[in-house]
Structure 1
Amino acid sequence: MNQTETEWTVFVSDDGSTDGTLDILKYYQEKLGRERFVIIDGPGKGFAWNFISLLEKCGDAFDYYAFSDQDDEWMPDKLSRSISVLSGYKHNVPSVYCGRTSLVDENGHHLGESPLFSKPPSFKNALIQSIAGGNTMILNRAGRNIINKTPIDVRIISHDWWIYIVITAIGGNIFYDPKPSINYRQHTNNIVGSNLGWLARFKRISGLMDGHFKMWIDSNIYALNKADVNITPENRFILESFNEARNSNLFKRLYLFRKLGMYRQTLLGTLGLYVAIVLKKL
């Protein structure tokens, strides 16, 4: 409601909340009207599918689609800034704006900013790392239409990572904004927390080693192979080589990964990646 961009409609997918969420939603629906504030029942398949299904349910009458979580505090120029970026791309090319976040505590006190990623977004990065939270993402209509091709019977680990993978796979545009456009509230109940601090980063990297990361990649690749999207020839080769490398012996694995040039956004992350490669945890 405080956005400098005033042409918007809110769609809320309530995925089975049992607290006072619906009362709050109905208050705003009465305030803004049912046409501008639409409440929808979620699919009951977890947070990732709640977002993805909502993209389809809200229809194709809009030029841009922005995700929001209940913890976000949007900066007033969030929509106008992202639209300014996305409008510079061809409207028929799937494009996504995303970026860094400013981190605040439960009382709104500034804690710092999420890590600044300086390496270019790419499919080589997307296969092994998600660079931005869904709460920073805005898709153009072409991007939304591609994500709507997600097969309904696959497991999606996280909607933001999935979007990064799909849009880069087909040769779409990803714009990563180093200037935060949201205050991302941190508290003990966050489903997915920030990457703030060395301890938090170490925990993220250590997650490469416990088997979860390999399982997540398996799920992402399975979903991508089932999706009806046109992966570019170059990225199809990368995907096939990536799969071959993951299933090869140690020396061939190291050779293929080095030849592929896959990377994470930080030096610590890349070091963790190569440890995972050696230990076959990828």
Structure 2
Amino acid sequence: MDKKSSIAVLLCSYNGSEYIRQQIDSIINQSEPNWTVFVSDDGSTDGTLDILQSYRDKLGSKRFIIINGPGKGFAWNFLSLLEKCGDHFDYYAFSDQDDEWMPNKLTKSVSVLSNYDCDAPSVYCGRTSLVDENGLSLGESPLFSKPASFKNALIQSIAGGNTMVLNRAARNVINKTSKDVRIISHDWWIYIVITAVGGNIYYDPKPTISYRQHTNNIVGSNLGWIARFQRISGLLDGHFKEWIDSNIYALNKTDINITADNKHYLEMFNDVRNSNLFKRLYVFRKLGMYRQTILGTLGLYVAVFLKKL
């Protein structure tokens, strides 16, 4: 890896005083030292700002920069920070406030991304090691083995934003996102956009972060069969269709160069969602859409059958 590569670490915070010290310490202890931390705080009232200011005093205001978030939710907090941090970094790494990075997190992700042409939008992401509130292991997130693609991205997000590192070309594409659209989740949006323009997504099967699971987000981790069935049921309750509507609207409002094949695919996908049952089943099968697991793909076709997509 080029030791001169510069990395912007983008940390978003909101009332994160309980665990944010551990996350920042894990960033400081990275084997790759050439980083600058940008923190976007979205109105914390619990002492988080005092903690952040103590790290700014320790590291200096040029290496630890605190700004005010936009107050539009977590997705736009990350996307606005991606823009505000500037375009003079080689790589941009998203960080949640309550995880812990393994020491090789930045070294490994930048090593992977450096193998791609720097002009090609490229994103590193991957699996996570799951831990509880006390840092005790809960196993690992599901291993996804099917290829990353636009066909998958339109109907599934494969990796958390807390694992994502973008090169500058990917950052510049994402920054074209229209400011007046609803973004469901920044990680899903990045997966959709980068695959839409023909960019590179590298999914690492080996975790480089410990993803802290709280009582209220165990289901979000896909931990266990109950959680997986609940996530599949989410395909059928109407929310998933609403999310896809929002993503497609945002794509149409954002000035990016979607490849000709993907543009045609998107048009077919959007058109067939409101077609009759026979056409839905026929065209969806022809399109070859898939989720990363057999159970997920089964749920997808049930959603197609019930017109919930």
TM-score class, shorter: over 0.9
* CA distance in structure 2 between the partners assigned to 1:242 and 1:63 by the alignment: 35
TM-score (norm 2): 0.90
* CA distance in structure 2 between the partners assigned to 1:142 and 1:154 by the alignment: 22
Higher relative contact order (CA 8 A, sep 6+): 1
Matched residue, 2:242: 215
Report the count of equivalent residues.
282
Matched residue, 2:214: 187
Q: Deviation of residue 20 (structure 1)?
A: 1.0
After superposition, what is the alpha-carbon deviation per residue over 1:117-172, rounded to whole angstroms, capped at 9, x for unaligned?
Answer: 00000000000000000000000000000000000000000000000000000000
* CA distance in structure 1 between the partners assigned to 2:200 and 2:68 by the alignment: 31
Q: How does 1:113-192 map to 2 (within 5 A)?
A: 113-190=140-217
RMSD value, Cα = 1.0
Instruction: Tell me if structure 1 keeps the 8 A contact 2:219–2:230.
Output: no
Paired residue secondary structure (2:215): coil
Counterpart residue identity of residue 138, structure 1: V
* CA distance in structure 2 between the partners assigned to 1:18 and 1:268 by the alignment: 42
Change (3 A) 1:169 1:192: farther
Q: How does 1:28-39 map to 2 (within 5 A)?
A: 28-39=55-66
1:54 pairs, out of 81, 86, 90, with: 81
Structure 2, unaligned stretches of length 5 or more? 1-27
After superposition, what is the alpha-carbon deviation per residue over 1:221-279, rounded to whole angstroms, capped at 9, x for unaligned?
Answer: 00001100000011011101101110110000000000000000000000000000000
Matched residue, 1:12: 39
* CA distance in structure 1 between the partners assigned to 2:76 and 2:258 by the alignment: 22
Counterpart residue identity of residue 195, structure 1: N
Structure 1, unaligned stretches of length 5 or more? none
Instruction: Tell me if structure 1 keeps the 8 A contact 2:196–2:259.
Output: yes
Instruction: Tell me if structure 1 keeps the 8 A contact 2:220–2:227.
Output: no
Q: Percent identity?
A: 81
Matched residue, 2:21: none
Counterpart residue identity of residue 133, structure 2: E
Matched residue, 1:225: 252
* CA distance in structure 1 between the partners assigned to 2:230 and 2:67 by the alignment: 36
1:253 pairs, out of 256, 276, 280, with: 280
* CA distance in structure 2 between the partners assigned to 1:104 and 1:71 by the alignment: 11
* CA distance in structure 1 between the partners assigned to 2:144 and 2:209 by the alignment: 16
* CA distance in structure 2 between the partners assigned to 1:111 and 1:132 by the alignment: 18
Matched residue, 1:27: 54
Q: Which runs of 4+ in 1 moved over 2 A?
A: 188-193
Please state if 1:267 is matched with 2:294.
yes
Paired residue secondary structure (1:235): helix
Q: Deviation of residue 17 (structure 1)?
A: 1.2
* CA distance in structure 1 between the partners assigned to 2:84 and 2:195 by the alignment: 24
Matched residue, 2:227: 200
* CA distance in structure 2 between the partners assigned to 1:191 and 1:265 by the alignment: 20
1:64 pairs, out of 67, 91, 102, with: 91
Counterpart residue identity of residue 35, structure 2: W
Paired residue secondary structure (1:115): coil
* CA distance in structure 2 between the partners assigned to 1:198 and 1:191 by the alignment: 12
After superposition, what is the alpha-carbon deviation per residue over 1:184-233, rounded to whole angstroms, capped at 9, x for unaligned?
Answer: 00012549831111111111110001100000000000000110000001
